[in-house]
């Protein structure tokens, strides 16, 4: 069933916008996060490195130092950091970073039990509780992230220490759950997609069989997690195991219809389902993935590509429940949505998947990290009101400024590994075709022999040039947001018609293919079924969603409304170098001295300045709004 696959780890060396971000990750984020893992950065304690040291001591029968510290899934922070380091080393050799990674890997390998079990929480303490709380213990989740890190590090460096540890751990899991038939499925899906990767890297079919087992067993006993909870006298967070919809365990996965439950766990599961469907030609599983994709993107996704609208369980809510000020929209959830989109693209190269993957990356994923790479959002609200955001009981999760770290630090290293590996999502390949899913400058060399240079100022500029080194067939995406496009080959206009959002064109060595996309800003309107967005609009230019900050608008955005009949213009100045800001026709209502009043307010015309959403909250505490009310009776022609 698989038509194309992700580009290999060495296939892409970035420059331009993506290259600048990857340089920031390599030069600042990865070193900073390593200091955090070693408890040398100040702020929130991590203790990740020390946990592995203490686990090795416990295995040797020694005193386990100061024991285990952190979340039950603390090991996964190390794994995601190592995966980011692997992608960085693949395109930016760094002897210091490699030495740090090798040293951490040696500590991880020393913390592995002789039977292959690898988890510091249940090695340092509560050894007798291993595998008894799959709902909350996250042993399989941590194993999955370590497997992903091992595969990436091996592909990048050729070193096998972590890969061998991951194989031993995966075989321990295979023996227990497949060969011995012990009951259980992961409370937090992740192991499934990781085992698929390990199967491809090692060629060992047992790992795919284990992934298939975990996918197929899920939901066949809807009461499994409740029975597991009843059989033990301990808990991590007090979960009862009774909410099958939240746990994605109410029914077998092939019967799922609506995206539900914890948003990150949900899209990690769907990613594995799509990956397995592509490898096994499972049409029933694929049909479920297609239904779930539609559920997310047509009824339960924010305009920024954020998913998971409620703080209660970090979860999907119900159709069209998409409030801006209390949005959860976890960074990791949008990363997982990118994973899901990428796997669906492997089965069916359809621009609808790449459009969402692009929207999630350029808006929510990038918004999860500050411009300097040292502060991070876990939650990504679409509206910030100082004094309410992060303060009111209903809004405490929606912080108005990025913290430097979290006790639950899943998002920062997840963002780092995703940005460093963007080439795997931007480009794909089949036997005879190079797929250009996203527009990212850099040098691309694919396993099928096709090679080219991509030059573009995207996402701020909308001309994309491909200089062909080794020819073949290119499949270039035409974004759904671009109302017009122009394609030229060696300066001759091409009349190619998009097929499912892609134009297919034969190119030869030395050719120059140029794509020109629509660069005009546009208004976006929400379905009237979304109650939070009734009578509102927001602004888009290219893949970027724009927002309004008080810093640029007299300290206040709540009194602004859009005059959608006017023309949006590129501003002559911008608060961020090289980043176009937009001047948007608006009206400002006057401030009021009383809570309620009867005199009709008289708004004044003004120009509101909008910046890309991913750059908000970089200039101190200030209000922010993405959606603004429309002037009554005014609608822009054709949404412009």
Catalytic machinery residues: 314, 410
Cα atoms found within 13 Å of the Cα of residue 304, Cβ hemisphere only: 36
Place of tokens 């959403």: 613
What is the Cα–Cα distance from 166 to 172, expressed in whole angstroms?
10
> Which residues lie closer than 8 Å to 3 by C-beta, 6 or more apart?
346, 347, 348, 349, 430
Nearest alpha carbon to residue 256 among 212, 281, 286: 286
What is the Cα–Cα distance from 272 to 282, expressed in whole angstroms?
13
Place of tokens 């100022």: 457
| 3-state secondary structure at position 507 | strand
Enumerate the H helices of 203-240 as residue ranges.
205-217, 224-230
What is the Cα–Cα distance from 349 to 499, expressed in whole angstroms?
9
| 3-state secondary structure at position 15 | coil
Helices (H) and strands (E) in the chain, counts: 18, 22
Nearest alpha carbon to residue 17 among 442, 351, 304, 435: 442
What is the Cα–Cα distance from 172 to 176, expressed in whole angstroms?
6
139 close to 130: Cβ distance less than 8 angstroms: yes
Enumerate the H helices of 176-262 as residue ranges.
191-202, 205-217, 224-230
What is the Cα–Cα distance from 427 to 504, expressed in whole angstroms?
14
- Bridge partners of 464? 456, 515
What is the Cα–Cα distance from 399 to 381, expressed in whole angstroms?
8
Cα distances from 365 to residues 338, 357, 362, in angstroms, run 9, 10, 6
446 close to 24: Cβ distance less than 8 angstroms: no
What is the Cα–Cα distance from 252 to 273, expressed in whole angstroms?
12
248 close to 276: Cβ distance less than 8 angstroms: no
362 close to 405: Cβ distance less than 8 angstroms: no
What is the Cα–Cα distance from 302 to 235, expressed in whole angstroms?
34
What is the Cα–Cα distance from 622 to 95, expressed in whole angstroms?
41
| 3-state secondary structure at position 465 | strand
628 close to 586: Cβ distance less than 8 angstroms: yes
What is the Cα–Cα distance from 469 to 452, expressed in whole angstroms?
5
């Amino acid at each position: 069933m698989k038509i194309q696959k992700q580009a290999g780890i060495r296939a892409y060396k970035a420059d331009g916008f993506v290259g600048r971000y990857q340089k920031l990750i390599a030069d600042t984020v990865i070193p900073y996060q390593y200091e955090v893992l070693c408890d040398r950065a100040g702020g929130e304690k991590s203790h990740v490195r020390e946990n592995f040291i203490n686990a090795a001591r416990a295995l040797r029968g020694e005193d386990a130092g100061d024991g285990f510290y952190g979340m039950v899934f603390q090991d996964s922070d190390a794994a995601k950091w190592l995966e980011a380091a692997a992608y960085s080393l693949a395109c930016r050799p760094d002897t210091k970073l490699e030495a740090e990674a090798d040293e951490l890997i040696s500590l991880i390998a020393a913390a592995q039990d002789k039977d292959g079990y690898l988890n510091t929480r249940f090695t340092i303490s509560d050894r007798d509780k291993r595998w008894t709380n799959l709902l909350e213990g996250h042993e399989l989740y941590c194993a999955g992230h370590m497997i992903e890190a091992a595969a990436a590090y091996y592909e990048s460096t050729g070193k096998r220490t972590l890969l061998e540890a991951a194989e031993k751990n995966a075989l321990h899991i295979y023996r227990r759950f497949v060969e011995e038939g012990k009951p259980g499925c992961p409370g937090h899906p992740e192991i499934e997609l990781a085992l698929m990767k390990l199967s491809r890297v090692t060629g060992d079919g047992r790992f795919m069989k284990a992934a298939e087992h975990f996918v197929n067993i899920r939901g066949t006993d809807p009461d499994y997690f409740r029975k597991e909870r009843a059989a033990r006298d301990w808990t991590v967070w007090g979960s009862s195991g009774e909410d099958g919809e939240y746990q994605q365990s109410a029914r077998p996965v092939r019967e799922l219809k609506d995206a539900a439950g914890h948003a990150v766990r949900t899209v990690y599961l769907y990613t594995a389902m799509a990956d397995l469907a592509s490898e096994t030609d499972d049409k029933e599983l694929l049909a479920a993935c297609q239904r779930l994709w539609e559920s997310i993107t047509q009824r339960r996704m924010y305009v920024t590509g954020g998913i998971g609208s409620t703080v209660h369980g970090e979860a999907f809510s119900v159709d069209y429940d998409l409030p801006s000020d209390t949005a959860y929209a976890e960074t990791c959830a949008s990363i997982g949505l990118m994973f899901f989109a990428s796997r669906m693209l492997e089965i069916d190269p359809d621009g609808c998947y790449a459009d969402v993957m692009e929207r999630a990356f350029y808006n929510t994923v990038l918004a999860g990290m500050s411009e300097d790479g040292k502060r991070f959002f876990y939650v990504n609200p679409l509206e910030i009101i100082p004094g309410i955001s992060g303060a009111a009981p209903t809004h405490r999760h929606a912080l108005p400024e990025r913290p430097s770290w979290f006790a639950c630090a899943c998002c920062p290293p997840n963002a780092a590994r995703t940005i460093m590996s963007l080439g795997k999502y931007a480009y794909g390949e089949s036997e005879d075709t190079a797929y250009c899913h996203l527009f990212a400058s850099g040098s691309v060399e694919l396993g099928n022999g096709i090679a080219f240079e991509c030059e573009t100022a995207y996402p701020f500029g909308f001309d994309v040039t491909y200089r062909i080194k080794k020819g073949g067939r290119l499949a270039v995406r035409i974004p759904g947001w671009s109302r017009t496009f122009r394609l030229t080959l060696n300066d001759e206009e091409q009349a190619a018609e998009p097929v499912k959002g892609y134009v297919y064109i034969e190119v030869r060595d030395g050719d120059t293919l140029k794509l020109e996309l629509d660069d005009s800003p546009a208004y976006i309107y929400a379905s009237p079924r979304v109650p939070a967005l009734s009578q509102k609009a927001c602004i888009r230019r290219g893949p970027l969603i724009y927002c309004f900050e008080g810093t640029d608008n007299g300290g206040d955005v709540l009194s602004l409304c859009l005059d959608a009949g006017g023309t949006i213009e590129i501003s002559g100045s911008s608060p961020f170098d090289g980043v176009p800001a937009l001047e948007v026709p608006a009206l400002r209502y006057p401030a009021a001295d009383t809570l309620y009043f009867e005199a009709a307010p008289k708004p004044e015309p003004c120009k509101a300045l909008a910046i890309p959403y991913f750059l908000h909250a970089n200039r101190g505490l200030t209000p922010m709004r993405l959606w603004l009310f429309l002037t009554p009776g005014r609608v822009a022609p054709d949404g412009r």
